[in-house]
Amino acid sequence: MQSTRLIKLMEFFESDPGDPFVVYALATEYNNLNDIEKAFHYYHILLSDHPDYVGTYYHLGKLYEKEQQKDKAIETYRTGMLVARNKRDNHAFSELQGAYNGAMGLDYEDD
């Protein structure tokens, strides 16, 4: 059974499939529902149709990590950092850099 939120998001998507926020919301909702295949599907729509939608890269990278695809996660974070830098989105850049460092094993703490 589909959640009410998912049904509403699908209605929004059907009325405006070009809205990147709706596509992002669908990807996130499917990810939260642990429907990995559909989450990847909508994240990849964002990459192909809205490559400058910065939020995609962090969450897609985390999904790759969750699915034990570290190399893809690292590449996703790296690409996201470039997009964030080009958009002058320092907050997103910082988050992506932190995720990248973590995936690379560079997130150490001082003793």
DSSP assignment of the chain, as one string? ---HHHHHHHHHHHH-TT-HHHHHHHHHHHHHTT-HHHHHHHHHHHHHH-TT-THHHHHHHHHHHHTT-HHHHHHHHHHHHHHHHHTT-HHHHHHHHHHHHHHHT------
Q: pTM for this one?
A: 0.88
Check if CATH label 1.25.40.10 holds for domain 57-105: yes
Q: What is the pLDDT of residue 106?
A: 85
The residue extents of the domains of the chain are 1-50, 57-105
Series of mean pLDDT values for 10-residue runs along the chain (111 residues): 84 94 96 96 97 96 97 98 97 96 79 45
Q: What is the pLDDT of residue 111?
A: 45
Q: What is the pLDDT of residue 3?
A: 77
